[in-house]
Amino acid sequence: MSTNKKRVVWIRAISLLAMAFGLLTIKEGGAVLFYDGPARAAAGHYVPFVLWFNFLAGFAYVIAGAGLWMHRHWAVGLAVAIAVATALTFAAFGAHVYFGGGWEQRTLIAMSLRTLVWAGIAIGAWRLLILRTPEGNAP
């Protein structure tokens, strides 16, 4: 397989991961935010600003994934912005916990995962679409 074909396969994989992650985030976050049922009960002491951030970010995940699928350079910037915003929200969550706010361990795990996944997507997208593409030419 040629280098260009490998790059396309990796971009497609990253974009599918981003879109799947986004759709799952929207579904799960929406269930807790908008339906008084098992999902809300299972959420326990969720942190509202983290939940709202993640729910809204889910839409950005899908948009970034679609942009990456189409090899759009703006999608790399969006992926970087998502990674940075997620890290900042994670830091705010840390402050919330430090000052005695209620929380669930699964929020800590989920925010760790989100931060790592989006840092990986942003780095991968940067390497695959920006560093490997001649200026001004789409792959």
The pLDDT score that the predictor gives to residue 134 is 55
Inside any domain, residue 136: no
The pLDDT score that the predictor gives to residue 136 is 45
Examine the pLDDT at 137 and tell me if it is beyond 60. Answer: no
CA-closest candidate to residue 55, choices 77, 25, 17, 82: 25
Inside any domain, residue 75: yes
Inside any domain, residue 10: yes
Inside any domain, residue 137: no
Inside any domain, residue 138: no
The pLDDT score that the predictor gives to residue 41 is 83
The model's pLDDT over 86-119, given as tens digits with 9 standing for 90+, comes to 999 999 999 999 999 999 999 999 999 999 999 9
Could you tell me the two tokens for 83? 């990674």
The model's pLDDT over 25-62, given as tens digits with 9 standing for 90+, comes to 999 999 999 987 888 888 888 999 999 999 999 999 99
Number of domains forming the structure of the chain: 1
Which range marks the domain in which residue 107 is found?
A: 3-131
Rounded to whole angstroms, the Cα distance separating 73 from 47 reads 33
Mean pLDDT across 3-23: 95
Residues with Cβ within 8 Å of 12's Cβ and at least 6 positions away in sequence, in order, are: 69
**137 or 125: whose pLDDT is higher?**
125
115 contacts 88 by C-beta, under 8 angstroms: no
- Tell the residue number behind the tokens 């490997």, with chain if given: 132
- DSSP secondary structure, 14-54, as one string: HHHHHHHHHHHHHHHHHHHHH--SHHHHHH-S--HHHHHHH
